[in-house]
Amino acid sequence: MTTRQPAQPVEHRQFRFRAPPGSTEVLLVRHGESAPAREDRPFPLVGGHGDPPLSPEGRWQAEQLGMRLAGERVDAIYVTTLRRTVETAQPLAQRLGITPLVEPDLREVYLGEWEGGMLRIMAARRDPRFVAAMEAEDWGLIPGAETNDQLRARVMPALDRIARAHPDERVVVVAHGGVIGCALATVTGSRPFAFAGSDNGSISHLVAIGDRWVLRRFNDTGHLAGELSVAGEPPT
């Protein structure tokens, strides 16, 4: 008489996310730290936007970013019209032999009368208009600045264009803090400034699946863990 062995129970492991066919992975990188603002020396303007270069710390961050992503699959690199994104992308582009593409509509939020570095100065002074804009989470409260709706109206179509151009690919997009905050708040349905203040040189990870965007990662700075200032002291 044959003894029937009991059936082995079926096991169901937890699901691990995989980008589905036709989707596009977008690594949103905030540019490295830019040069400090000074009242007596406003940043030069490009298209009305302040255009400072990277600081020494920012160049170090760009190098670390290049080393971090050089071993990963990257099919294209995008930058904006502002030099701090171009300089941040350069180490990675050189390592991979990729020529960055320019997407003008991902340039930083327009700050009106506070362009050229004045926003940082007003923030340091705790100017009441700056405080009001931060509390209301509305760029439009800064004199002459772009509103949240105006920023979103150019940022999201630009990201959609990039996603449609790169199905089944991974793209690095080097952009700006205000732009990244706008994009992530939009795709998650969050408060306008819920994702404000991403760190310089950080990586946030989006996946475009048809008309839907999924946030996979925010403000990854693992490659900057050993960051030091030029003087060799922890940055403040």
| Span 133-190, pLDDT tens digits | 999 999 999 999 999 999 999 999 999 999 999 999 999 999 999 999 999 999 999 9
pLDDT at 226: 77
Domain containing 162 equals 24-108+147-220
pLDDT at 169: 98
- Do the beta carbons of residue 141 and residue 129 sit within 8 Å? yes
- Do the beta carbons of residue 34 and residue 57 sit within 8 Å? no
Non-local CB neighbours of 222 within 8 Å, separated by 6+ positions: 68
Residue 176 lies in a domain: yes
Q: Which regions in the chain score pLDDT beneath 50?
A: 229-236
Single pTM value for the model: 0.91
Residue 76 lies in a domain: yes
Count up the domains in the chain and report the number: 1
Residue 134 lies in a domain: no
pLDDT at 6: 76
Residue 7 lies in a domain: no
- Do the beta carbons of residue 140 and residue 112 sit within 8 Å? no
pLDDT at 234: 32
> What is the spatial distance between Cα 33 and Cα 56, in angstroms, rounded to a whole number?
8
> What is the spatial distance between Cα 88 and Cα 12, in angstroms, rounded to a whole number?
43
Residue 123 lies in a domain: no
Residue 10 lies in a domain: no
Residue 172 lies in a domain: yes
Task: Phi first, then psi: give them for residue 79, nearest 5 degrees.
Answer: -135, 175
DSSP state of 227: -
Give the domain CATH number at 156: 3.40.50.1240
Helix (H, G, I), strand (E, B) or coil at 217: strand
CA angle 80, 27, 153 (to 5 degrees): 50
Residue 122 lies in a domain: no
